[in-house]
Amino acid sequence: MTAEKIIEFDKVVAGYSPSLTILNELSLDARKAEITLLIGPNGAGKSTVLKTLFGMLVPRLGEVRFEGKRVNGKSQRELLADGIAFVPQGRNLFGSLSVRHNLELGGITLPRGELSGRIEEVLARFPRIRERIDNQASTMSGGEQKQLEVGRALLLHPRVLLIDEPSIGLSPKLVQEVMTLLRQLADGGTTVLMVEQNVRTALKYANRALVLEMGRLALDRPASELLNDPDLNRLFLGGHVQKNVA
Amino acid sequence: MADLLQLILSGTATGAIYALCALGFTLLWQASGTINFAQGEFVMIPAFVMLFFINTAGLPLWVAFLLTCLVAMLLIATLGLSIGVKQLVKAGVTAQAMPFESPFPDGLLALGAMKVSYADVGTLLLAGLIVVGLQLFLNRTVTGRAMQAVAQNTDAAKVLGINVQRMVLYTFLINAVLAVVAALLVTPTYLAKFDMGESIGLKAFYAAIIGGFNQTRGALLGGVLVGVLENLMGAYVSPAYKEGVALMLFLIVIIFRPEGLLGKTEERKV
């Protein structure tokens, strides 16, 4: 049985300036409680999909829908309230603040009374963060920082987690840990939309893979099928793919 | 020895005023990525507004100070000021230097062999109080930490739902109050004059760079350093070089430690 579509892009055109179009009438969807992996060559529009969904770019044309409702142009605060959280690429912590204060800022949109309980939940899930709770965030290792970023996003109990290149700068062991965590979240009902260059590893944990090319959907396949595709390397090194949208 | 300590203390008091103004530079830079070259005018305007409340409306100094804080917050936070304001004051108010009542009593305080003016002690205490209060606000409140978050990584702050525009507005409001306090402290000595902002604005800018533009504690160090060295230069070398101290220090720092004494090297993705 196909899971319910929770995120939909319908012929979305978006870019960073009027003359720089990245998403080119892109249509795709992500399904509830699944990990949907976005892959493709550099410049294909993978990160732009996440930014457009999270209101950091406003589509010039087309419609972005969350649970069937149009969310084009909604602010980040509104989208967080709707249940969408975003962990962008790179380092996103506030280095001079403590780990606890970074977590607190992740829950800035929550009512004050709920925050300490939510922080406790995150600390229970990430014991390493609890050990470092009073340290400056900048003193944490790359893996700990990524855990903190994901934990901070989970404070709001998101129904959808957008995550961009979670494996960057992490050792293979830590990558496995992050992927396992994302799998657990999806199995618990959270929808994960992930951009990841470490394709082989990510495919092992994902349900579906969407290959983007020049801002369009070029391929939509179950992750397990794509993992065994002999042409996998060509797909994300920039070779053209035969149109095969499920 | 007593003379030296006296000079250092009074220089620290002058430096504290530069530091308040320099703090405005660093806060605005961190929160909004802008350098406010009209920072000196931000100090000059409150001096004239306070004079209006004292001389024309007949209000006591402390009431004039509070009202000026409100006016400055409205003017500075909502309109912004430009260098043209200086000429407006010259043409529309007065080109003369106007005397300004000191918030502190006249006279000298004896500290052992050292004699320090009440104005210097008062300036140090008030500026110290403002700085400590500001640090407590920035570090101990959620709003203060959110302002720091915006300063450090605006995009990451947006992603968490922090209201970036509001945090930038708060920074402008704080800067307005810092400017009024600096005006209150500096005007009794320098008198209220349309071009009084030039010197303090420039020195505060140098002080912010000397200390490190991306660090509030750098602004404090830079301000105090400029104030103390100016005093020592004036007393032990020649008063003629006093005004050049900030520039010399600025050049030395730019050559040998461009990020400032307490500044941190920032990496930016281009």
User: Over A216-242, what HEC string results?
Assistant: EEEEEEEHHHHHCCCCHHHHHCCCCCC
Please check whether residue B55 lies inside any domain of the structure: yes
Of B148, B153, B161, the CB nearest to A92: B153
How much is the pLDDT for A59?
94
- Give residues 135 to 174 of B whose Cβ lies within 8 Å of A: 142, 145-146, 148-149, 152-153, 155-163
Determine whether the interchain pair A94/B160 forms a contact, defined as Cβ–Cβ distance below 8 Å: no
Q: Express each pLDDT in A117-147 by its tens digit.
A: 999 999 998 888 999 999 999 899 888 888 8
Rg, C-alpha atoms of chain A = 18
Residue B270 banded pLDDT, cuts 50, 70, 90: very low
pLDDT band at B76 (very low <50, low <70, confident <90, very high): low
d(CA A230, CA A169): 27
Domain count, chain B: 1
Task: Decide if A100 contacts A148 (C-beta within 8 A).
Answer: no
- pLDDT of A35 > 60? The answer is yes
pLDDT above 90 covers what percent of chain A?
A: 65
Cβ contact B213:B263 at 8 Å:
yes
For chain B, percent of residues with pLDDT exceeding 70 = 89
Count Cβ–Cβ pairs < 8 Å, chain A vs chain B: 54
Look at B79-93, B95-109, B160-174, B242-256 and tell me which has the smallest mean pLDDT.
B79-93
d(CA B243, CA B238): 10
Cβ contact, residue pair B142, A56, below 8 Å: no
| Most distant CA atoms of chain B, gap in Å | 58
* pLDDT at res. A152: 93
Q: Tell me the per-residue pLDDT of A60-91, one tens digit each, with 9 for 90 and over.
A: 999 999 999 999 989 999 999 999 999 999 88
Task: Give B85's pLDDT tier (boundaries 50, 70, 90).
Answer: low
Cβ atoms of A206 and A194 closer than 8 Å: yes
Task: Report the residue from A56, A97, A109 with minimal CB separation from B149.
Answer: A97
Mean pLDDT within B201-220 = 86
Q: According to the model, what pLDDT value does residue A20 have? A: 86
How far separated are the first and last CA of chain A, in Å rounded? 14
Between the ranges A77-81, A88-92, B236-240, B242-246, where is the mean pLDDT highest? Answer: A77-81
Residue B181 lies in a domain: yes
User: What radius of gyration, in Å, describes the C-alpha atoms of chain B?
Assistant: 19
DSSP string, A16-76: EETTEEEEEEEEEEEETT-EEEEE-STTSSHHHHHHHHTTSS--SEEEEEETTEE-TT--H
* Cβ separation A108–B160 shorter than 8 A: yes
Question: Would residue B43 count as lying in a domain?
Answer: yes
- Asked if residue B30 is part of any domain, the answer here is yes
Q: For residue A246, is pLDDT > 70?
A: no
Taking CA atoms, A218 is separated from A14, A45, A191, A224, A238, in Å, by 17, 12, 22, 17, 12
Range of the domain at B78: 2-196
Q: What share of chain A is helix, strand, coil (3-state, %, to 5)?
A: 35, 30, 35
Residue A97: which of B145, B155, B163 has the nearest Cβ? B145
Q: Has residue B153 been placed in a domain? A: yes
Q: Is residue B250 part of a domain?
A: no
Q: What is the mean pLDDT of residues A196-224?
A: 92
The answer as to whether B248 is a domain residue is: no
In this structure, is residue B13 part of a structural domain?
yes
- Find the helix or strand (DSSP H, E) in which A5 lies: strand A5-17
Is residue A237 over pLDDT 70? Answer: no
Q: Regarding predicted confidence, which is higher, B55 or A234?
A: B55
> Which ranges constitute the DSSP H helices of B96-153?
118-140, 142-152
Could you tell me if B178 and B21 are in contact, meaning their C-beta atoms sit under 8 angstroms apart? yes
